[in-house]
A and B are shown apart, each in its own frame.
Chain A
Amino acid sequence: MSPQELQVQQKREVEKKQEPTAPARAFLPATDIFETEAALTIVMEMPGTDKGNLDVSVEDGVLYVEGRVNFDNYDGLQPVYTEYNIGHYRRSFQLSNKIDQSKISAEMKDGVLTLVLPKAAEAKPRRIAVS
């Protein structure tokens, strides 16, 4: 198989339910979600966000992820050619109640956030022995 050429993904802006008060845009991070027997893993791409500028919270069974980009890095820079927009990242997911919310772990590397949401013990499939 020949190596696949990587394409640019256009950033999708977050649809606002309320009018924002801060003058910054927010985009939906490209996200992978997959499930294993033990956990649900959510991987989000947020280039420019470090772990200090990240908020992950669970409220009423909804997982909220917000990553902020530090615009100070752009101080004193005069744009001459641009291809992509810069903004914060925001996305939320409805969780099933099978998740053990106290054991959610998060890791940030190279602008990619990996959240591991372990399933609650009673939600894991159990092998039933046939006697």
Chain B
Amino acid sequence: MPRYHPIDALFDLQRALEASLESDWLRSGTAGTGSFPPINVFQQGDTLVAILEVPGVNKEDLDIQAKDNAIRISGKKEIAYPQSLSVHRRERLTGMFDRTLTVPMQIDTDAIKAEYQDGILTLFIPRAESDKPRSIKIN
């Protein structure tokens, strides 16, 4: 019996999107072009919710800027290794990151909210009022 998991639905949807849209997201041409941190974007009503995994990054080391329909997330991840006798395993990566998320709609940059908890950065990006469709009454 096939097992269903909600996250698998993400990937099905992504494949469908990529096929149909050729992705309007993350267009090049902005300063930040890195691939870290990985981003998932969701929609909740008229708000886009971008969720980024940045474990081990201090809140103070995260810089978020928004202009027009682009949001730039930059910062650094550092690990303070103690003086140790030996290192058995080192899988965690450190370094600088700079990434720009471009969304395919007008957004209200002043109303963007950011939360950081448990290594997850969540951005709430509201659609601009001017971008929302208006219903037109028929006289």
Contact B96 A5 (CB under 8 A): yes
Find the B residue at minimum CB distance from A81. B41
The answer, yes or no, to whether A78 is at the interface (CB within 8 Å) is yes
Q: Give, as a whole number of angstroms, the nearest-CB distance from B32 to chain A.
A: 11
Contact A47 B55 (CB under 8 A): yes
Contact A33 B89 (CB under 8 A): yes
Count of interface residues, chain A, beta-carbon cutoff 8 Å: 45
- What number of residue pairs across chains A and B have CB atoms under 8 A from each other? 166
Q: Give, as a whole number of angstroms, the nearest-CB distance from B126 to chain A.
A: 15
The answer, yes or no, to whether B76 is at the interface (CB within 8 Å) is yes
Q: Give, as a whole number of angstroms, the nearest-CB distance from A95 to chain B.
A: 12
Q: How far is the CA of A76 from the CA of B4 in the complex (A)?
A: 17
At the interface, is chain B mostly helix, strand, loop or mixed? Answer: mixed
Q: Give, as a whole number of angstroms, the nearest-CB distance from B54 to chain A.
A: 7
Q: How far is the CA of A111 from the CA of B7 in the complex (A)?
A: 20
Q: Assess A111 versus B119: contact at CB under 8 Å? Given A33-B88, A34-B81, A80-B17.
A: yes
Q: Assess A80 versus B93: contact at CB under 8 Å? Given A33-B87, A34-B81, A47-B55.
A: no
Q: Give, as a whole number of angstroms, the nearest-CB distance from B119 to chain A.
A: 2
Specify which of A24, A34, A50, A74 lies most central, judged by the most chain B CB atoms within 10 Å of its CB.
A34
Report which B residues bind A (CB closer than 8 A): 3-7, 9-11, 13-14, 17, 23, 25, 34-44, 48-49, 53-59, 76-77, 79, 81-98, 116-120
